[in-house]
Amino acid sequence: MNQKTKNELISKAKEAREKAYVPYSGFPIGAAVLTTGGKIFTGSNIENAAYGLTNCAERTAIFKAISEGYKKFEAILIITDTDKPVTPCGSCRQVFTEFGDDIEVISTNYKGDELSYTSGELLPGAFDKDQMEGKGVNKNEI
Ligand code: THU
């Protein structure tokens, strides 16, 4: 990804972070997803009084993209205002893997530190649709 695109992801993820709903953790995160066609979807973390229902920023962004008809992703960027960038949780890693092993995942912070992985590196040995050997899988939807 070129620097201009990355800067755009950063600025959109920062904007999304401002919209985080985090009354319980007070830990806002912003995310931006880049589709292979160059479209950007953003997301923030959304918490709930029933804590386990919290939706992470990355998943919010991906689910927004999917619900708008986009499921091929080039990159996912997440941003926090922390000393070091934070890495995506296990649930988000599983969701990334659903849509490919070679999505570039970038964790960054306001100081510009950056960690970069592929979705496959973040969840080696992930459970995926191939392990179901076609059982119950509707290929038209993938
Ligand atoms: N969180 C994310 O949004 N993404 C992650 O990958 C890690 C955790 C959120 C969930 C919760 O709202 C807050 O960060 C603290 O766990």
- What type of residue sits at position 54? T
Is residue 73's pLDDT more than 80? yes
Q: What pLDDT was estimated at residue 106?
A: 98
Kindly state the tokens that stand for 110: 């306001």
76 Cβ neighbours under 8 A, 6+ residues apart: 31, 32, 33, 34, 58, 61, 62, 88, 96, 103, 104, 105, 106, 119
Q: What pLDDT was estimated at residue 139?
A: 73
Kindly state the tokens that stand for 64: 């927004």
Average pLDDT over residues 32-40: 98
Is residue 134's pLDDT more than 90? no
pLDDT tens readout for residues 100-114: 999 999 999 999 999
Using the mean position of ligand 1's atoms as its centre, give its distance from the Cα of residue 69 in Å.
Answer: 25
Q: What pLDDT was estimated at residue 125?
A: 94
Average pLDDT over residues 67-87: 98
Burial (CB < 10 A; 0-12, 13-18, 19+), residue 141, is: exposed
Q: What pLDDT was estimated at residue 140?
A: 75
The C-alpha atoms of residue 7 and residue 4 are separated, in whole angstroms, by 5
- Contact by Cβ (8 Å): 42, 30: yes
Q: How confident is the model at residue 133 (pLDDT cuts 50, 70, 90)?
A: confident
Is residue 99's pLDDT more than 80? yes
Task: Quote the pTM value.
Answer: 0.95
* Residue 58 annotated to the active site: yes
Residues with CB under 6 A from ligand 1: 22, 25, 27, 29, 45, 47, 54, 56-58, 88-89, 92
Average pLDDT over residues 84-99: 97
Instruction: Point out the ligand 1 atom lying closest to the alpha carbon of residue 47.
Output: 12
Average pLDDT over residues 132-139: 78
Using the mean position of ligand 1's atoms as its centre, give its distance from the Cα of residue 45 in Å.
Answer: 6
Q: Whose CA is nearest to atom 4 of ligand 1?
A: 56
Using the mean position of ligand 1's atoms as its centre, give its distance from the Cα of residue 136 in Å.
Answer: 31
Name the nearest CA neighbour of 60 among 75, 49, 47: 47
Active-site residue (options: 8, 47, 58, 141): 58
Q: What pLDDT was estimated at residue 44?
A: 98
